Structure 1
Amino acid sequence: MSINLQKGQKIDLTKGSGGLSRIMVGLGWDEAQPAPQQSSGGFFGLFKSHSQQQIQDIDCDASAILLNANGKLYGREANDCCVYFGNLTHKSGAIRHQGDNLTGAGEGDDEQIMVDLNRVPADVAKIVFVVNIYDANVRGQHFGMIQNAFIRLVNLENNAEICKFNLSENYYGMTGMVVGEIYRYNREWKFNAIGQPVKEASRLQLLLNMYA
């Protein structure tokens, strides 16, 4: 039975699980639909005054950041420490991104990241899952325009959902989000529901800088 997590709640993934190894981390979100406006600015500026046409779709990108035991970026190269739309598979083969979703349209997961816990390098202590809005500053977009955001974990051996964390706070003005993390503790893997907003994250590098 899936567990609905609250912000800051932690659960065991491998302890007493009978050998849980392969999991899918699904991240989802929907673009909030603005109400029709008569004013020139529109709702959060989503409508152009001269044409009332909606601006570009909000392009959210999910990524996995690998950290060492000191909480710093793992490895010496960018592709050592991050799996994202530009580096879909970690060189260890343990983490695989299923590809970029440019709009967030449709129900269910918008992006999925597969993790084989048994293949994660021994000196990786934590895998942090983040989402940022690509080009947010240029497009005038932020997480106040996003609704129904979540992260969920699924056991790939039986496709059973392990847990889900719905992000329900007001994230107006924020362009990035540290959603959750999988981390080692006493040789076991755990998951922590974080939900920490980041004001400036229109590029993934700005999130990586938090752990440099």
Structure 2
Amino acid sequence: MNTPVISLEKGENINLTKEEPSLKNILIGCGWDIRASDQETFDLDVSLIMVGADGKASSERDLIFYNPAHQVSVCGSVRHTGDNRTGEGEGDDESILIQLDQVPADKHRLVVCVSIYKALEKKQNFGQVLNAYMRVLNADTDQEIRRYDLTEDYSKYTAVLTGEIYRYNGDWKFKAIGTGLTGGLLEFVRMHGLSAG
């Protein structure tokens, strides 16, 4: 069954559990294009941090990103599918798989961020990134549930906190956030209670 894809606006959220009661495995896909006029290569990275009710991660192992040592969460419920260093080609550039029924009970939110690798060193920012989006798919059916297109001007920022999957009264919900960060991945990590070291 092909249902039309519904796009979310910044700040909107949906109840994933009510939308698809049998939903167990989701894929968070992120994609982007680079302005043709920019000669420098851009390496954008998708990261996810698992946090408790206080909004903080309990250890650095709660950060899942491209580093091979951090591509799978300790509990095994979250897995980064690998680093894409160019953003070339159609479809998702990077993605993260989540087994919702395996996420530990003390993890209340799974927060997703897209950052530019070595942005300050290369003098790069999200103003040079086009058609960026984050989408949620049913990983078992490959059906897109919701899409969030990042249409704002993020020219001052080196990372964007795109969205989060969170627990609410026993259900899983998804919220489109779209907050720009000037400190890249390090700021994302710090704001959730981890040191930048």
Which TM-score applies when normalising by structure 1? 0.86
Q: What is the aligned-residue identity percentage?
A: 40
Kindly provide the amino acid, as one letter, of the partner of residue 3 in structure 1: I
The superposition leaves residues 50-80 of structure 1 with CA deviations (integer Å, 9 ceiling, x where unpaired) of: xxxx33x11101000111001111x2x311x
Equivalence map 1:174-193=2 (5 Å)? 174-193=157-176
The answer as to 2:121 corresponding to 1:118 is: no
Matches of 2:168 and 2:155, distance apart in 1: 34
CA distance in 2, matches of 1:90, 1:72: 16
User: Contact 2:181–2:187 at 8 Å: present in 1 too?
Assistant: no
Partner Cα distance (1:173, 1:89) in 2? 31
The SS at the match of 2:82 is coil
The corresponding residue for 1:101 is 84
* Aligned residue in 1 for 2:48: 64
Does structure 2 conserve the Cα–Cα contact (< 8 Å) formed by 1:23 and 1:116?
A: yes
Which runs of no fewer than 5 residues in structure 2 stay unpaired? none
1:126-205 correspondence to structure 2 within 5 Å: 126-201=109-184, 204-205=185-186
Shift of 1:16: 5.4
Q: Secondary structure of the equivalent of 2:191?
A: helix
Give 4+ residue runs of structure 1 displaced > 4 Å after superposition: none
The one of 15, 20, 25 equivalent to 1:17 is 20
Alpha-carbon offset, residue 18 of structure 1: 2.7
- For residues 208 and 187 of structure 1, the distance between their equivalents in structure 2, rounded to whole angstroms, comes to 27
What is residue 84 of structure 1 aligned with on the other side? 65
Aligned residues: 188
CA-to-aligned-CA distance 1:142-195 (integer Å, 9 cap, x gap): 000000000001102211110000000111121010000000000100000011
Q: Which amino acid aligns with 1:207?
A: F
Q: How far off its partner does 1:15 sit?
A: 2.3
Show structure 1 runs of 5+ residues with no match: 35-45, 47-53
